[in-house]
Amino acid sequence: MIENFPFKKILVVDDSEVDFFLVHQNLKMVKPVPHILHAMDVDSGLNVLRSFRQSEMPDLVLLDLYFNRHFRQGRDFLHEFHRMPKTITCGTKIKVLSAYTNPEIIAGLEKDFGKMHVIEKPIAAYHLIT
């Protein structure tokens, strides 16, 4: 059990229902349990974010890097997110989820987007607070 979990609202952008289920189960073990939203693809995730005012934005986005059945990938989400007004996105942290976390992938992300927190799948709740 993780007490005083720092994130109250989380958006999971992942096309794998199994991975979403695992994330959801892990997050049910933290206190207080966060409000969890799910988007199955990049465009749906971006639309969720665009529908919120700053005060409604999630504290954390867990973003899958590779989507199996979709043209747009996690990098596309990151590009769009970084184009959104900073006054809206400033309180939202992004952590990238991937089964493929080799150093070249991480270096490429950091070159394009700055310091990135990349978590290898499958995740455990304690990975989210580091």
CATH code of the domain in which 113 resides: 3.40.50.2300
Q: Quote the domain boundaries for residue 88.
A: 9-129
Q: Which residues of the chain have pLDDT under 70?
A: 1, 124-130
- Say if 107 falls within a structural domain: yes
Separation of CA 65 from chain center: 9
- Say if 76 falls within a structural domain: yes
Number of domains in the chain: 1
- Say if 2 falls within a structural domain: no
- Say if 61 falls within a structural domain: yes
List, for residues 74-86, the tens digit of each pLDDT value.
999 999 999 999 8
Closest CA relative to residue 74, chosen from 52, 92, 54, 100: 100
What pLDDT shows up at residue 27?
86
What pLDDT shows up at residue 69?
74
What pLDDT shows up at residue 124?
65
- Say if 1 falls within a structural domain: no
Cα–Cα distance for residue pair 73/41, rounded to 1 Å: 8
What pLDDT shows up at residue 30?
84
- Say if 4 falls within a structural domain: no
- Say if 36 falls within a structural domain: yes
Predicted TM-score (pTM) of this structure: 0.89
- Say if 21 falls within a structural domain: yes
Backbone angles phi, psi at 40, to 5 degrees: -90, -10
